Copies of this chain bind each other. A is one copy, B any other.
Amino acid sequence: MSTNGWVAVAGLGPGDEALVTPEVMAALAEATDVVGYFPYVARVAERPGLTRHASDNREELDRASHALDMAAQGRRVVIVSSGDPGVFAMAAALFEALENGPVDWRDLDIRILPGITAMLAAAARAGAPLGHDFCAINLSDNLKPWPLIERRLRLAVEADFAMAFYNPRSKSRPEGFAKTLKILQEACHEDRLILFARAVSTPEESLRIVALSEATPEMADMRTMVIVGSSQTRLIERAGGPILYTPRSTG
C-alpha cells in the first residue's frame, strides 16, 4: 500500500460557493479523484489531472469503499457531501466501510472537512431559530424504524427543543412527514412556529414561516429543510420579511 494516498470527506455547504471553506477548496485543488452523489460532484469544476466519479444516492457504502481503495493505491481522494459531511451525510458511511473493510485501510490518512450544514444555513436566512437548545432529526426511515422517529419526536417536544428535520420528504416515503406533522400538531400549541426553507443559498431559495396548525405536508419537498421552533420561538414582523428567532433566555 502506498502511503501517499489520502481520503478527505468534504462539506460543500448548502449551494452557494461563498459558503465553501478555504480548507475544502484546498483539498479539491490537490485531489486526483472526486467521489460523490451526481449533483455534488457536478459542483466541482473539471480540470486536467482530476477524475470525477459520480454515483447514485443510495450507494454510500460502495462509494466509501471505492474511495478508501483508491487512497490505498496512492490516490488523493475527496468524497463530496452537501452541507457538513458529519451530519446525516458521508462521514458516517465512510467509517462504516472502514470498520468493515481490510485492516490496512486503518493506516490511511483520513480527514473530515466540516461545512455549513443545511439547518444552520436555513436558520441564518430566517433569523436565529436555533439560538437556544435544539435537536436535529433525520426523518428518513430508510435506515431506522418509524417508531423510533416517533418516539424521538415526542421526547423532543417534551424537552422543548427547537427541532431541525433533515430529509422530510423522500420520493420513496412521502407519508413520513405527514405523520410527523400530525404528532407535532397533537403535542404542541397551535401557534408553534415552523419554517420551511427550500434550496437555501441557491437561486431557487424560498422561505415560508407558518403556525403549526397551518402547516401541510406539501410545504416540504426533497430540497426543504424544516425547523420547528420551541415554545419560546418568536416572530418579529417587519416590512422586509419576518424574523424567526429563539431567545437565549427561557423567561
| Most chain B beta-carbon neighbours within 10 Å: one of A109, A125, A136 | A136
Q: How far is the CA of A159 from the CA of B143 in the complex (A)?
A: 17
Q: How far is the CA of A23 from the CA of B20 in the complex (A)?
A: 9
Q: How far is the CA of A122 from the CA of B47 in the complex (A)?
A: 32
A144 touches B (CB below 8 Å):
yes
A88 touches B (CB below 8 Å):
yes
For A132, the chain B residues whose CB sits under 8 A away are 88, 92, 138, 144
A128, B22: Cβ atoms closer than 8 Å = no
Copies of the chain in the assembly: 2
Given the interface pairs A87-B131, A127-B112, A136-B135, the reply to whether A92 lies near B245 with Cβ below 8 Å is yes
B92, A246: Cβ atoms closer than 8 Å = yes
A248 touches B (CB below 8 Å):
yes
A172 touches B (CB below 8 Å):
no
Interface stretch (choices A29-37, A71-79, A95-103, A187-195): A95-103
A95, B245: Cβ atoms closer than 8 Å = yes
CB-nearest residue of chain B to A250: B144
User: Nearest Cβ distance between residue A139 and chain B, in whole angstroms?
Assistant: 10
We find that the number of chain A residues with CB closer than 8 angstroms to chain B is: 77
> Contacting A16 at CB < 8 Å: which of B23, B106, B152?
B23
For A86, the chain B residues whose CB sits under 8 A away are 120, 123-124, 128-131
A238 touches B (CB below 8 Å):
yes
For A130, the chain B residues whose CB sits under 8 A away are 86-87, 136
In the assembled complex, 26 residue pairs joining A and B whose CB atoms fall closer than 8 Å, in A order, are A13-B21, A17-B22, A20-B22, A22-B22, A85-B128, A86-B120, A91-B131, A95-B236, A98-B236, A98-B243, A106-B239, A107-B238, A107-B240, A109-B240, A110-B243, A112-B124, A130-B136, A132-B144, A133-B137, A133-B138, A133-B152, A135-B156, A143-B248, A143-B249, A152-B160, A156-B159
